[in-house]
């Protein structure tokens, strides 16, 4: 590492390349997927990806806080997203009967049908833009590396929710394992 003008340590060439590569690859892939979905089915990638989390959840519903973790959003962001998805007919809100306060976001039948229609376009785009560019061994290595950085990052949504609930110390301990 080198020091920058403010006295802080700069990233090495390898660190900077890996970081920039991650950000740039994500940006390009997400932008292209969003454009394809919008052109073919109208929902944006954001409107598509978040209800997919509900599709895989038990009873097609998640508590708002769990949806926030699974959808990679802050609580205020998930509230705004659910408001919009509710207006578009993707989801409804259901009051929690066990806790007394709090709500579930529940995928509607209309939302499930709309997701099914958009799914083929989305999966074709994901395969074209990402996995087809890598061998099976490279994909396994990427998944291993993501899990090293954030435990369960490459796992199922249920595994991700468990990993996201880990403390920083637990993540460091898990991330240190090869």
pLDDT at 3: 53
pLDDT at 13: 95
Do 138 and 46 meet the contact criterion of CB atoms below 8 Å apart? no
pLDDT at 8: 67
pLDDT at 167: 53
Q: For 13-133, CATH number?
A: 1.10.10.10
pLDDT at 139: 92
Q: What does pLDDT average to in each consecutive run of 10 residues of the chain (178 residues)?
A: 63 94 89 84 65 82 85 81 86 82 88 85 85 90 90 78 61 51
| Calpha distance 39→19 (Å, rounded) | 30
pLDDT at 144: 93
Q: For the chain, which residues make up each domain, given as ranges?
A: 13-133, 135-165
3-state secondary structure the chain: CCECCCCCECCCHHHHHHHHHHHHHHHHHHHHHHHHHHHHHCCCHHHHHHHHHHHHCHHHEEEHHHHHHHCCCCHHHHHHHHHHHHHCCCEEEEECCCCCCCEEEEECHHHHHHHHHHHHHHHHHHHHHCHHHCCHHHHHHHHHHHHHHCCCCCCCHHHHHHHHCCCHHHHHHHHCCC
pLDDT at 178: 39
Flag whether the pTM goes above 0.85: no
pLDDT at 12: 94
């Amino acid at each position: 590492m080198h020091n920058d003008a403010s006295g802080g340590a700069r990233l090495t060439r390898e660190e900077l390349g890996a970081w920039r590569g991650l950000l740039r690859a994500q940006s390009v892939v997400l932008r292209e997927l969003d454009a394809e979905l919008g052109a073919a089915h109208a929902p944006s990638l954001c409107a598509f990806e978040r209800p997919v989390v509900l599709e895989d959840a038990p009873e097609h519903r998640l508590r708002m806080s769990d949806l926030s973790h699974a959808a990679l959003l802050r609580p205020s962001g998930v509230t705004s997203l659910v408001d919009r998805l509710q207006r578009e007919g993707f989801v409804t809100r259901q009051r929690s009967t066990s806790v007394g306060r709090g709500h579930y976001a529940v995928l509607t039948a209309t939302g499930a049908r709309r997701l099914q229609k958009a799914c083929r376009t989305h999966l074709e785009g994901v395969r074209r833009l990402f996995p087809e560019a890598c061998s099976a061994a490279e994909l396994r290595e990427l998944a291993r590396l993501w899990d090293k950085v954030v435990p369960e990052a490459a796992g199922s949504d249920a595994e991700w929710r468990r990993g996201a609930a880990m403390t920083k110390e637990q993540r460091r301990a898990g991330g240190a394992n090869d």
